[in-house]
Amino acid sequence: MFHGTDVDGIGAIAVHPSFEYFAVAEKGTWPNIYIYSYPSLKLYRVCRKGTEKMYAHVEFSIHSKGAVLASLGGDPDYTLTIWNWKNQKVILKNKAFGAEVYKVQFSPYTDDVLFTMGSIHIRFWKMAQTFTGLKLQFETAKFGQLELTNVSAVAELPDGKCVSGTEYGTLIVWEGQFIKSHLMLDAEKKIPLHDGMVEVIIQDEEYFLSAGADGYIKWWRMAEIDVAEAEEGLDFSIAPVKEVLIAEGPDGKNPAYIQNMVLANNKWYIQDRKGKIYVMEKDQEEYKCITEFHEGSVNGLVCSPSHNYAVSIGENGMIKVWDYVKAVVAYQKIFSGKGTCLEHMPFTEGNKGRICAAGFDNGIVRILSITADGIQILKSFKAHDEPVVGAKYSQDVKMLVTASATGDVFFFECDGLSDLQKYEPLCTVKLAEDAGITDFKWNPGDESVIFGASNGFVHQIRRPKHEEIDNKDSYLWEKADIKTWRIKMMEFQMQKNQKKDEAEEEKKRRMRLRGELPPEEDEPEEDWEPERIYAMQPFKNAHGDLQFLVASTGQFNGFIYLCEMKAPRPLKAVEIPAGLHVTYMSLNSKKSGDLLALGFDNGAVQLVFDFNFEKRMAVKYHDAHAGAITATAFNDDDSFFLTAAADGLIFAHQFDRKAAAEENKHDPLEAVEGA
């Protein structure tokens, strides 16, 4: 594993044509481009001040064999910078475009010509000598009568014409900034070359190959493209010389979304946006998958309470069992539906710490057993008509509660002690129509479950008892014991308290007593509209009282709030880093104390011992722009701490809970006189 140097993740990577160096363009405040030697991995050069927040793409020149480097900044500046990277100097710099730019690319025939492409645009750049020195000049492609399109791929012909892909699956031939022809399989029937976005155009000897969203790689004669010109209009029919479909199986099931292709050692390495990498011999049509990741976000992560494995669930329904010590996948299995949540049953002698509940966007919950033979389904049932947002076991392993995105809650009786197949529906509770459930947990003691909702409300439902539920005709628990709380501003957030002068108010009060001013009218209670509850965590305080933490958004953001159901407003506000949202909370309670994990939308995690918010341990390896934390987990002896996020990554950190707890108790001013 090779980690970046700056704080917010890696924006782009480029490999030098000699394979002796590679550039890592990072994210952060004025991030750097780090050039490393290979295979030593020693830092060789650093290019500074090329963009404000993040790099979107970097590319070494082709014609000069990597003497020049081009970088492309992301939002907000979209700066195109040309570097003499060995001297760590900027040659030229310009704004690439006013909207998102995906890539920058050198001409294979000269370093003086470049192309940038992205959101509904292509720009053709030229480094030219002028009276005032070397300048970057550009022309913007004019789509004319064709529909505007996002562009991810451009290639140049030897005579200077260019070919670009479109999001509707065709190729466009450009002469300067104007369209020469629009290539289709059948111009008369308007049949495109690909079904969906063209992400890749690469020269392969006398051919161009194209690939993209439909999983096909197609080869086209360059000479035919060069002379393509319609007699009327722009549409021109062209046929591929060869095509290969990259898919999971020989029947074409689940085709790849080809994001990128690289030729190395006479092999094509094919990146599938769905989480796979395939390899194919250059002159053959056979391919194989060499590695597989989660597609999209990792939406759940749990550790076994008794074994050295972790389980994760991905957006594509893939469940993986990890040996986190060796950092390898032990087993994996894909299920129908998008994976939404994961829960591990607490350990008993009956379940041996090997049972998980997985939720999916089709409303199905699958009970899984992790054994030496792999992942096995113990039970599968449809709990909801809408996506399952969570499944939580009670600590006594006798009840499972599930919830849907639309506010439906279902209680199931189970038996984690002896009958692992038992999942009998007991009752369901319907919360308010706008109560989209965002997070929920069992309260300590298993007597009730607390739910956070997208409408800013918190609902607490008492645990149903078997003898009080009559579900012969309906599972609806009409007399459910529900307590409701709504997030409200605290006193320090009220504008009247910020604006009133205490001395002036006292003066007015005395004047009213003397009759010199009319009596003060009661002011309406000041408050904000409730906002979405992002995450929550219930716990018992030192006095045994049930309390909970909530994180919200809008005007409530900037703090997490300590609350009680019986208190109309939060009891305390704890400040969090400015501009961030808490996306995840979990509590790991042991005899040695409580350890609260707070996950943020910038990929950071804070660990808080015994609710001492003055001291927080920070962990940050996930991407700042796409790595909102979705889950954290400790293994059974707290020697490992794992994090998962929307960037599709899982990190396993070695952890020493005892040393961290001692550090939390340490007061650096304890021995200082007068402190």
Between 310 and 515, residue with greater pLDDT: 310
Surface-to-core class of residue 475, CB atoms within 10 Å of its CB (0-12 exposed, 13-18 middle, 19+ buried):
middle
Alpha carbon distance 178, 184 (integer Å): 18
> Could you read off the pLDDT of 101-114 as tens digits, one per residue?
999 999 999 999 99
For residue 496, the SS3 value is helix
Look at the alpha carbons of 176, 181, 184, 185 in this order and tell me if their dihedral is positive or negative: negative
**Integer CA distances (angstroms), 574 to 347, 496, 536, 550, 641, in order:** 34, 22, 14, 10, 24
What is the C-alpha to C-alpha distance for residues 585 and 600, in angstroms, rounded to an integer?
Answer: 9
By percentage, how much of the chain surpasses pLDDT 70? 96
Give the burial string for 1-27 (b: 16+ CB within 10 Å, else e).
Answer: eeebebebbbbbebebeeeebbbbbbb
> Encoding tokens for residue 245?
């479909």
The per-residue pLDDT for 667 is 64
Residues in CB range of 303: below 8 A, 6 or more apart: 309, 310, 311, 324, 344, 633, 634, 635, 636, 640, 642
DSSP annotation of 230 reads -
List the structure tokens of 574.
């704890």
- Whether the link from the prior residue into 192 is cis, omega within 30° of 0, is no
Share of the chain above pLDDT 90, in %: 80
pLDDT at 424: 96
Name which residue leads in pLDDT, 500 or 374: 374
What is the rounded radius of gyration, in angstroms, for the C-alpha atoms of the chain? Answer: 30
Whether the Cβ atoms of residue 381 and residue 393 lie closer than 8 Å to each other: no
How far, in Å, are 90, 463, 570 from residue 563 at the CA level? 54, 21, 5
User: Exposure string (b/e) for 492-517, b if CB count within 10 Å is 16 or more?
Assistant: ebeeeeeeeeeeeeeeeeeeeeeeee
Cα 119 to Cα 102: distance, rounded to the nearest angstrom: 8
With 60 as the cut, is the pLDDT of residue 500 above it? Answer: no
Question: Which tokens sit at 558?
Answer: 């900037």
The continuous run of DSSP H or E covering 658 comes out as helix 657-665
Contact at 8 Å (CB) between 572 and 561? yes
What pLDDT, on the 0 to 100 scale, is given for residue 512?
Answer: 79
C-alpha span between 78 and 67 (Å, rounded)? 23
Q: State the Cα–Cα distance between residues 332 and 443, nearest whole angstrom.
A: 32
Quick one: DSSP state of residue 571? S
In the β-sheet with 617-620, what is the strand arrangement from edge to edge? 582-590, 593-600, 604-609, 617-620
Query: pLDDT band for position 515 (50/70/90)?
Result: confident
For 635-655, what is each residue's pLDDT tens digit? 999 999 999 999 999 999 999
Task: For the chain, list the domains and their CATH numbers.
Answer: 1-140 (2.130.10.10), 154-292 (2.130.10.10)
- Who has greater pLDDT, 505 or 624? 624
Question: In the block, which residue shows the tokens 């994976």?
Answer: 339
If we measure between CA atoms, which residue out of 200, 208, 201 comes closest to residue 228? Answer: 208
| H helix intervals, 213-358 | 222-227
Alpha-carbon distance 424 to 359, whole Å? 17
Per-residue model confidence as pLDDT tens digits over 312-366: 999 999 999 999 998 899 999 999 999 999 999 999 999 999 999 999 999 999 9
Whether the pLDDT of residue 664 is over 90: the answer is no
pTM, full prediction: 0.86
Q: Which two tokens stand for residue 71?
A: 């970088």
Is the distance from CB of 459 to CB of 486 less than 8 angstroms?
no
Strand order in the sheet with 310-314: 298-303, 310-314, 318-323, 328-334
CA separation for the pair 444, 380 (Å, rounded): 28
Identify the band that residue 427 occupies on the pLDDT scale cut at 50, 70 and 90: very high
CA atoms within 13 A on the CB side of 304: 20
3-state SS of 350-378?
CCCCCEEEEEECCCEEEEEEEECCEEEEE
Helical ranges in 372-522 per DSSP H = 495-499, 502-513
Please answer whether residues 303 and 636 qualify as being in contact, where contact means their C-beta atoms are separated by less than 8 angstroms: yes
What does the DSSP 8-state code read for residue 507? H
Any bridge partners for residue 133, and if so which?
130
Segment 205-232 shows an average pLDDT of 95
DSSP state of 655: -
pLDDT of residue 516: 78
> Mind listing the pLDDT tens digit for each residue in 120-175?
999 999 999 888 888 999 999 999 989 999 999 999 999 999 999 999 999 999 99
Mean confidence (pLDDT) of the chain:
92
CB distance 631 to 300 below 8 Å: yes
Q: How much is the pLDDT for 63?
A: 94
What is the distance between the alpha carbons of residues 620 and 632, in angstroms, rounded to a whole number? 12
